[in-house]
Every structure is written in C-alpha cells, then in structure tokens.
Amino acid sequence: MRTKPRSHFFALLPTLKRLGTSRMILRKEYSAVRVAKKLRQLLGNPNYAVKAAKIASIIQAENGVKVACDAIEKQLAAA
C-alpha cells in the first residue's frame, strides 16, 4: 500500500487553500453534491483563475513540472 505520496499531497492542501487556489473537503464530509458545489464555487469565481495563473507562472519559472515529476518518479522507485 502506497500511502506516502498521498500523504505528501494531503500535506499540501492547507498551503493550496491558503494560496486561494483550491478548496478542501474532508473525507467524512465527501459527497457528490458537496464536490459539485465546491467545483461551481471554484469555476464561478474569477479570483481562483487569477491566482492559479500567478502560481502557474511561478511553477514554470522554477521548472516546477520537472521537479514534481522527478519527485514522483523518486517516490515510485522507492515503493
């Protein structure tokens, strides 16, 4: 069972929420209705798109996609 990569993802959620680019739903509160509501909020609010674009430019400047892929490959190799 690979829990480490998933735990890394969940560790990022508070940061992503603080940056204003995501929403979080606790597992015990998860439902299709709640997910649909959160997605409508995200897609209907232009501030999320603006913030996501800013973060995308930072990731691009830092070669973030390559760094992320390398980290994922390292985790998979260790599993």
Please give the chain's pLDDT, 79 residues, in tens. 444 545 666 777 778 778 877 778 888 999 999 999 999 988 899 998 898 888 888 878 888 788 889 999 999 998 7
- 62 vs 69: CA distance, rounded Å: 13
**Which residue pairs from 58-67 have beta carbons closer than 8 angstroms and sit at least 24 positions apart in sequence?**
none
Place of tokens 């603006």: 50
What is the model's pTM?
0.52
11 to 7, 15, 58, 64, 74: CA distances (angstroms): 6, 8, 20, 18, 18
- In the chain, what are the domain boundaries? 4-78
